[in-house]
Structure 1
């Protein structure tokens, strides 16, 4: 059978964490919204219908939640990179993208966001 690329999308995962460098940000948790995309070859899972042949998005999401809620971050770049590391850690992952929004970070904007990507092809 032809290889098929699966795209797992974790959409609008809303969490609270300490993020920022101002005193108010250091002392008070803020909302963040996480969107992640993970690409992997799903041919084996498609053919077997066995969970062991698929990426477990629940496990990935639980790791992200634990990371974000149990740590402090000064920079959105660092937080986004740490989440990206979780999304790409399985050897089957060919591409991963993480975007994190920090709502109300700017007075006249809905949010500020940062996106980082991993592409296995670019790593070789």
Structure 2
């Protein structure tokens, strides 16, 4: 199994439990690790034989921007389920969702979820 990484993907979302968090979209960062069989693409050098990581990134950004979740845990879980559903050739997805601007005395707050079936 091979991996594709999408790192520090940025999106803005209405996320949070406090009233002030529900007024303006907040910056979120996503680190996504995808396990899939990329061996055919490695041999063929044909884009049609691999995962389109631009489509994956676009799907994550779109879902985050449309989200009304209160918890980053809920959004992360939803995103992983969506990725696995939309891209069935993916075996495993690990997603770290960071909310970097939420605590004044911390650089970042994040959750990490992993789902799928190891081939």
User: Could you tell me the TM-score, scaled by structure 1's length?
Assistant: 0.86
Q: Number of matched residues?
A: 118
Once the two structures are TM-superposed, the CA of residue 86 in structure 1 deviates from its matched residue by 3.1
Which residue number corresponds to residue 22 of structure 1?
Answer: 18
Once the two structures are TM-superposed, the CA of residue 8 in structure 1 deviates from its matched residue by 0.8
Picking from 104, 109, 119, the partner of 1:107 is 104
Larger proportion of strand: 1
Distance 1:60 1:96 in 2: 11
1:59 aligns with 2:55: yes
Picking from 89, 111, 114, the partner of 1:117 is 114
**Structure 2 segments unaligned to the other structure (5+ residues):** none
Structure 1 counterpart SS, 2:95: strand
The correspondence of residues 59-98 of structure 1 with structure 2, limited to 5 A, is 59-89=55-85, 90-98=87-95
CA-to-aligned-CA distance 1:61-101 (integer Å, 9 cap, x gap):
11111111122210111111122123323222121100011
Aligned Cα RMSD in Å? 1.6
**Is the Cα contact below 8 Å between 1:38 and 1:96 reproduced in 2?**
yes
Distance 2:38 2:49 in 1: 8
Which residue number corresponds to residue 6 of structure 1?
Answer: 2
User: Could you tell me the TM-score, scaled by structure 2's length?
Assistant: 0.90
**Structure 1 segments unaligned to the other structure (5+ residues):** none
Based on CA coordinates, which of the two structures has the bigger radius of gyration?
1
**Is the Cα contact below 8 Å between 1:37 and 1:96 reproduced in 2?**
yes
